[in-house]
């Protein structure tokens, strides 16, 4: 197989925890050819979607982890699989990328996750498709509605719809300290739609990442536990990751969403849950492969490449 990864710059990878690196490593272990490119390498030229892709080899050296040959301008249809692993923000450039990749699909490329599905599933707002699993939630840019939601629920999380890694998340407790300022800042004075959710106290036990691969639930999740008074469990915000078996409730959520999302073209999904509630559906570049594998011995990257093989006969 020839596999091309559309990702962030390779030099930015923290390979001790990067899930894209884990995928590359497993693909290389199986003898597959690995290529990498960035958003800026994509082009529509002569009616075809092409990219300047770089063939890479994994060195096994943690300091200089890859070797690169000269970039090649190739039609994306020449690859057995194109893996979309670009991190958010999900801005207009990201949307343009999905348009180009969707054109590439029409020309014979196999892209995972499916570009139109990535575009259609906002990672925060997609939970509204599964209301039976979510805590009380409001999505709006209207200040009066946001204030009324806080008045009703007393303890509320406010967050942007386009963030990652816990950036821009605020908790406002019953006394309402800085409520107005937080609403004004996140909503850009009513110009940007944001999300409010009733605070879930079980965050103290972790914000759990449940992985779905090919519609199936990975048997272990990673509970990202807040530290030092933080309300955010995200690893990027200083949370500690503790792998643990998937609970009965989280398996119920995963087994309900898995087949639906897989049918929509989402080969890899990272569900976030707190307590018994679904809080996010991550589909751009879900992580936690390495943390789960190192703590449990379950090879998540192997399960992913197995699913990729099944999807690219």
Q: Hey, what are 9's tokens?
A: 């710059």
Give me the catalytic one of 113, 122, 234, 282. Answer: 282
Tokens at 88, concatenated: 């958010």
Strand partners, 58: 66
Nearest to 34 by CA among 84, 82, 87: 82
Q: Which of 224, 234, 250, 291 is catalytic?
A: 224
Angle CA(180)–CA(155)–CA(157) in degrees, nearest 5? 70
Confirm whether 25 is a catalytic residue. no
Compute and round to an integer the Cα radius of gyration of the chain: 20
Residue carrying the six token digits 């629920």: 153
Asked if 209 is an active-site residue, the reply is yes
Check 208, 232, 234, 250 and give the catalytic one.
232
- Nearest C-alpha neighbor of 85 from the set 112, 108, 106: 112
Q: Is 280 a catalytic residue?
A: yes
First-last CA distance in the chain: 10
Catalytic choice (25, 86, 110, 159): 159
Question: Among residues 209, 234, 250, 291, which one is catalytic?
Answer: 209
Q: Which of 124, 198, 207, 208 is catalytic?
A: 124
Cβ-contact 217, 276 below 8 angstroms: no
Q: Output the six-digit token pair for 189.
A: 């004075």
Q: What does the DSSP assignment read for 219-276? A: SEEEEEE--TT-S---GGGTPEEEEEEPPHHHHHHHHHHHHHHHHTT-SEEEEEEETT
Establish whether 159 is a catalytic residue: yes
143-153 and 179-186 helices, crossing angle to 10°: 140
Query: Which residue out of 18, 26, 280, 291 is catalytically annotated?
Result: 280
Residue 198: which residues within 8 A CB-CB, separation 6 or more?
Answer: 135, 136, 137, 153, 155, 156, 157
Assess whether 282 carries a catalytic annotation: yes
Q: Is 141 a catalytic residue?
A: no
Q: Which residues form the catalytic set?
A: 124, 159, 209, 224, 232, 272, 280, 282
């Amino acid at each position: 197989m020839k596999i091309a990864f559309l990702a962030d710059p390779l030099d930015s990878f923290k390979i001790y925890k990067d899930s894209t690196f884990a995928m590359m490593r497993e693909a290389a272990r199986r003898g597959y050819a690995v290529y990498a490119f960035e958003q800026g390498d994509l082009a529509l030229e002569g009616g075809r979607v092409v990219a300047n892709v770089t063939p890479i080899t994994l060195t096994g050296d943690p300091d200089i982890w890859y070797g690169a040959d000269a970039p090649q301008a190739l039609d994306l249809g020449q690859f057995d699989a194109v893996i979309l692993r670009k991190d958010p923000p999900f801005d207009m450039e990201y949307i343009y990328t999905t348009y180009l990749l969707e054109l590439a699909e029409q020309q014979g490329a196999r892209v995972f996750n499916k570009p139109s599905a990535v575009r259609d599933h906002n990672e925060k707002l997609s939970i509204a498709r599964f209301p039976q699993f979510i805590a009380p939630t409001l999505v709006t840019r209207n200040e009066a509605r946001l204030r009324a939601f806080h008045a009703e629920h007393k303890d509320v999380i406010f967050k942007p719809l386009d963030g990652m890694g816990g950036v821009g998340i605020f908790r406002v407790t019953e006394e309402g300290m800085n409520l107005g300022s937080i609403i004004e800042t996140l909503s850009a004075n009513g110009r940007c739609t944001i999300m409010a959710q009733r605070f879930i106290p079980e965050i103290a036990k972790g914000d759990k990442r449940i992985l779905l691969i090919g519609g199936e639930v990975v048997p272990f999740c990673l509970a990202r536990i807040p530290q030092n008074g933080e309300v955010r469990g995200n690893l990027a915000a200083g949370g500690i990751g503790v792998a643990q078996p998937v609970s009965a409730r989280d398996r119920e959520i995963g087994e309900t969403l898995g087949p639906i999302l897989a049918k929509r073209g989402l080969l890899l999904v990272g569900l976030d849950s707190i307590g018994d509630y679904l809080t996010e559906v991550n589909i751009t570049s879900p992580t936690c492969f390495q943390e789960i594998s190192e703590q449990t011995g379950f090879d998540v990257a192997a399960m992913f490449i197995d699913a990729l093989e099944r999807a690219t006969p």
